Amino acid sequence: MNRYFYYSFVMVAMLNLMLYVPAVLLENRLNGAVSSLIVALVIGTLLAYASTSALSKFPGLGLPEILRLFLPEWLVKTLLPVYAFMWFFASSFALIGFTLLMNRVLTPDQPAWNLYLILGLLCVYGATRSALTILYLLEITMLLVAPLVLLILFKGVRSPDLSWDAIYTIAQYVNRFPTLSSVGAGTFIFTGYINMAIFNRVNPPNFRLKGRWIIPATGTLILLATFFLPIGFHGTMGVERYLYVWTQTADSMTMRYGFIERVVFVFLFLYLGLSLMYAITGWNQSMEFILSVSKKYKFKVDYSIAPAANWWVCGSFFALSFVGLLFLNERIDFEIAEVWLIVRMFLEAATVLFLIVVSWRRKKPI
Amino acid sequence: MLQRINELFATSNDVKTHRISNGSLILEVAYIATLVEENKLYDAIFVPFSRELKPFADVVRSDPSFKPVEDPAIWTDLMLRGYVLLKVEQSFFCYFAAKVIRNTSPQTSVESSIEGPQIALSEDLSDSANIIRARYATPDLQVEEYTVGYLSKTQILMMFDQRRADPKVLSLVRAKIRGIQTDILSATGELAKALNDNRKRLFPMELITERVDRVSRGLANGKVIVMMQGSMFAIILPITFFDLMVATEDRYENFWMSILLLSLRFCALLLTTTLPALYIAIVSYNPELFRVQLAFSIAGSRAAVPYPSFVEVFIMLFMIEMLVEASVRLPKYIGSTATTVGGLILGQAAQQAGLVSSIMIIVTSVMAISNFVIPVYSLSLSVRFIKYPLILLAIFFGLPGVACGLFFFVIYLCNQRSFGRPYFRLILPGDLKHTDIGEVNHE
């Protein structure tokens, strides 16, 4: 299970490199984003450590089952839809954001819903699968995608076009006080651990997570790359000018001898895989939360033919997000994202706190 | 006995019933002449009976090759499988004298290898079992026999290493074999289909092989082998997708070369599925994907072609599929002529006539050749099919469509279970020590 946890963690960290996190951070680059990075690193690592050690006390149980153990039924019934919405919103939002981006860059002559139709339907198919299937899929996807993303990051760092002076200049703003929105954005990099809320169900009884130093190490690497690479490529003030700053950053690199000269295409397809994977895990967990509202629901970790309920729930997810897509555009997206990143941070922190308290109580004989 | 047998069988000439006497004893014999080897019959029954060096009744009782038959209901079954029925002093016996026509010690022809074992499984079950036992000489090898098919009464042999095979898989396979309802079972592929729940699956869930080394390696890895009378192919299950991509020779040859070949096969797999779809998507939607020089040379070669890229792809695919199909069905001697005519002359002419671009010819031939690289035939058939959905996606959605189609196949593969075992999953060596995910029992 070890590796599956880290796949999920790295997936979320890498995905956020593309979406709203860099935009929020770069907006605040002159007033506290740098110090927020440090704060986010500490908070994110702490939350990840706390949640993983708390969840390891409950092998084979997901968050719904743990809530049921300790809270009254009516509270569970109100909390689960909130969680379901949280996961659904995060993943649909990412998917919609990516659809708009891909549409803008790759197929500008087609309407965005055309692209969303196929991406969304694929996610419905993926999200209805069993937890084990999704973990196998996660492994394959991450093994294919992660090395290439790291390669591109490495290529970016080694690029002669990178202006280290700009990076040093921005880094000197470290003495500004951190802001809430940048901390919220920064901690989103670390948020891969929340996927364990449902995937903890597949953990075998004697499971212990090893190698947790990977969490701060990868987090730091990706956080720094997210923030500083665009600055290095576009300059201290120039970064503001782009809507999708990372697409432009990737487009600043070239592969001189490749079939495909512009790195941005490779980058886009890697991130297509990541966004699909993220939406699939998100929808799947949201679906499990919704189905768990009923007390009689018995979850299964593996099935080869998806139950009809799965299709109904995921189908309505698709319909909802499709309607959302028609109303959203980049400007509204960005404003929602900023609020969302903060709200999400507090919700997650509260959940982790609850898990910690509960796991302490579990240790004592009841 | 004889009267009853004559009633049971339709009036056919080859059902022989004799009543003979040597003075002291009356013997009734019944058999189907076309199924048994009559020499055997003379040596074992008629000659000892007429000479009577030892009383024949004693011979029958002491020789273990004469088996007593208690139940008259299985008489017809026995006779149909090549047994001779005997009635001696009110008790019944059967004697196995079947004559099986088969290919003698065949060479591997479907999955050939250069330095691996050259002998293949036989069409006769007992020969195959012999070959396997000789290569897998442990007392743990367990053999179970079943009969399937209302009319064909095909014998099926299931072999496994009782220490290594997974009991869950075993019980599943047993239940599947018992549940088969068919009149006639004539090939291993049919049996494999019957063993599977989903007849419309895209990828093979079991490995059909004629190679003895694959079988014995499979037994050692805890796989179950199912063989049937009359086919020189065995089924290995459960398998993973990666088993289908490995040729047996990978184990015998140089390590680095094997790694290289394996990765080559995966590249070929990717190429043969995506190349035509990518051609459409890139030419019609996103020519800017490639570097400028390459994009220009593709566009230049398409200058003479008067219709959109997907029509071009369909023309070429239609031709290549017909060629492959024709060369499989034709006799060996004409086959090579057909490929030469089709491949060389038609391709060249089509390009010069401006019906297809020269790049398209390259795409098609790379696609066809890559398909032949896949070592297992059933997989290469599946792969031949799955490029068509990708082409449709490319026509309607362009590059993102192709990417999504590929992703769909990955999800589909991850969702498959081969007899309860994950089909498309990386198994790392470190896994064996730890408990695995999903090993939780909720009661």
List pLDDT tens digits, range B299-320: 898 888 888 999 999 988 998 8
C-beta separation of B99 from B14 below 8 A: no
**A290-332 tens-digit pLDDT:** 999 988 888 888 887 889 999 999 999 999 999 999 888 888 8
Task: Indicate yes or no: CB of B407 within 8 angstroms of CB of A276.
Answer: yes
Closest chain B residue to A114, measured at CA: B397
What's the pLDDT score for residue A365? 47
Task: Indicate yes or no: CB of A133 within 8 angstroms of CB of B415.
Answer: yes
Strand partners, B207: B236
Pair B137, B90 in one domain: no
Q: What percent of chain A has pLDDT over 90?
A: 47
Helix (H) / strand (E) containing B405: helix B377-415
Residues of A with Cβ-Cβ distance to B410 under 8 angstroms: 137, 140-141
**A10-43 tens-digit pLDDT:** 999 998 887 788 888 898 888 888 999 999 999 9
Would B442 be classed as within a structural domain?
no
What CA–CA distance (Å, rounded) separates A238 from A224?
A: 18
Pair B261, B234 in one domain: no
Would B216 be classed as within a structural domain?
yes
What CA–CA distance (Å, rounded) separates A183 from A60?
A: 32
The reported pTM is 0.89
Strand partners, B156: B146, B228
SS (H, E, C) chain A: CHHHHHHHHHHHHHHHHHCHHHHHHHHCCCCCHHHHHHHHHHHHHHHHHHHHHHHCCCCCCCHHHHHHHHCCHHHHHHHHHHHHHHHHHHHHHHHHHHHHHHHHHCCCCCCHHHHHHHHHHHHHHHHCCCHHHHHHHHHHHHHHHHHHHHHHHHHHHHCCCCCHHHHHHHHHHHHCCCCHHHHHHHHHCCHHHHHHHHHHHHCCCCCCCCCCCHHHHHHHHHHHHHHHHHHHHHCCCHHHHCCCHHHHHHHCCECCCCCCCEHHHHHHHHHHHHHHHHHHHHHHHHHHHHHHCCCCCCCCCCCCCCCHHHHHHHHHHHHHHHHHHHHCCHHHHHHHHHHHHHHHHHHHHHHHHHHHHHHHHHHCCC
Pair B219, B279 in one domain: no
Pair B28, B71 in one domain: yes
Task: Indicate yes or no: CB of B416 within 8 angstroms of CB of A143.
Answer: no
Pair B78, B153 in one domain: no
Residue A283 has pLDDT above 60, yes or no: yes
Pair B154, B207 in one domain: yes
State how far residue A261 is from chain B, nearest Cα, in angstroms.
5
Query: What are the CA-CA distances from residue A2 to residues A310, B192, B276 (Å)?
Result: 27, 36, 39
Cis ω for the linkage preceding B238 (within 30 of 0): yes
Total number of domains constituting chain A: 1
**A165-218 tens-digit pLDDT:** 999 999 998 888 999 989 999 998 898 888 888 888 888 777 778 888 989 999
State how far residue B371 is from chain A, nearest Cα, in angstroms.
22
Would B372 be classed as within a structural domain?
yes
Closest chain B residue to A135, measured at CA: B414
Q: Which two tokens stand for residue A262?
A: 């512009």
State how far residue A169 is from chain B, nearest Cα, in angstroms.
35
Task: Indicate yes or no: CB of B403 within 8 angstroms of CB of A273.
Answer: yes
Pair B406, B275 in one domain: yes
Strand partners, B94: B67, B85
Give ipTM to 2 decimals. Answer: 0.93
Which residues in chain B (366-395) have CB-CB distances under 8 A to chain A?
393
State how far residue A145 is from chain B, nearest Cα, in angstroms.
12
Give the DSSP letter of residue B435.
P
B437 compared with B271, residue with greater pLDDT = B271
Pair B170, B56 in one domain: no
Pair B61, B133 in one domain: no
Residues of B with Cβ-Cβ distance to A3 under 8 angstroms: 428
Would B84 be classed as within a structural domain?
yes
Pair B69, B141 in one domain: no
Task: Indicate yes or no: CB of B438 within 8 angstroms of CB of A301.
Answer: yes
Pair B40, B151 in one domain: no
**B152-166 tens-digit pLDDT:** 888 899 999 988 888
Which residue from B289, B401, B403 is facing A260, i.e. has the nearest CB? B289
What CA–CA distance (Å, rounded) separates A223 from A230?
A: 12
Closest chain A residue to B403, measured at CA: A269
Does residue B425 sit at the A interface (CB-CB below 8 Å)? yes
Would B65 be classed as within a structural domain?
yes
Residues of B with Cβ-Cβ distance to A298 under 8 angstroms: 442
Residue B219: phi, psi to the nearest 5?
Answer: -60, -40
Task: Indicate yes or no: CB of A301 within 8 angstroms of CB of B403.
Answer: no
Which range marks the domain in which residue A297 is found? Answer: 2-363
Pair B50, B152 in one domain: no
Which range marks the domain in which residue B317 is found? Answer: 256-422
Does residue B93 sit at the A interface (CB-CB below 8 Å)? no
**A235-250 tens-digit pLDDT:** 888 888 888 888 888 8
Count H helices, E strands: chain B?
17, 12
First and final C-alpha spacing in chain A: 29
C-beta separation of A67 from A292 below 8 A: no
Residue B107: phi, psi to the nearest 5?
Answer: -95, 155
CB count within 10 Å of CB A232 equals 24
C-beta separation of B407 from A122 below 8 A: yes
Does residue B290 sit at the A interface (CB-CB below 8 Å)? yes
- Average pLDDT (B412-435) is 75
Q: Coil, strand or helix: which one is B281? A: helix
Which residue from B400, B416, B422 is facing A106, i.e. has the nearest CB? B400
What CA–CA distance (Å, rounded) separates B159 from B200?
A: 27
Residue B442 has pLDDT above 70, yes or no: no
Closest among A142, A138, A183 to A47, alpha carbons compared = A183
AA letter at B48: P
Q: Coil, strand or helix: which one is B425? A: coil
Closest among A127, A96, A117, A107 to A324, alpha carbons compared = A96
Helix (H) / strand (E) containing B38: helix B38-41
Residues of A with Cβ-Cβ distance to B439 under 8 angstroms: 204
**A75-121 tens-digit pLDDT:** 999 999 999 999 999 999 999 989 988 998 888 888 889 999 999 99
When scoring B269, B437, B441, B443 by the number of chain A Cβ atoms within 10 A, the one with the most, hence best to mutate, is B437
Would B113 be classed as within a structural domain?
no
C-beta separation of B195 from B206 below 8 A: yes
Closest among A279, A343, A277, A278 to A317, alpha carbons compared = A279
What's the pLDDT score for residue B428? 62
Task: Indicate yes or no: CB of A203 within 8 angstroms of CB of B414.
Answer: no
State how far residue A285 is from chain B, nearest Cα, in angstroms.
16
pLDDT band at B105 (very low <50, low <70, confident <90, very high): low
Task: Indicate yes or no: CB of A265 within 8 angstroms of CB of B285.
Answer: no
AA letter at B427: I
Total number of domains constituting chain B: 3
Burial (CB < 10 A; 0-12, 13-18, 19+), residue A360, is exposed
State how far residue A204 is from chain B, nearest Cα, in angstroms.
6
Query: What are the CA-CA distances from residue B58 to residues B46, B65, B213 (Å)?
Result: 15, 13, 45
Query: What are the CA-CA distances from residue B116 to residues B112, B120, B236, B265, B413 (Å)?
Result: 8, 11, 19, 19, 30
Residues of B with Cβ-Cβ distance to A304 under 8 angstroms: 415-417
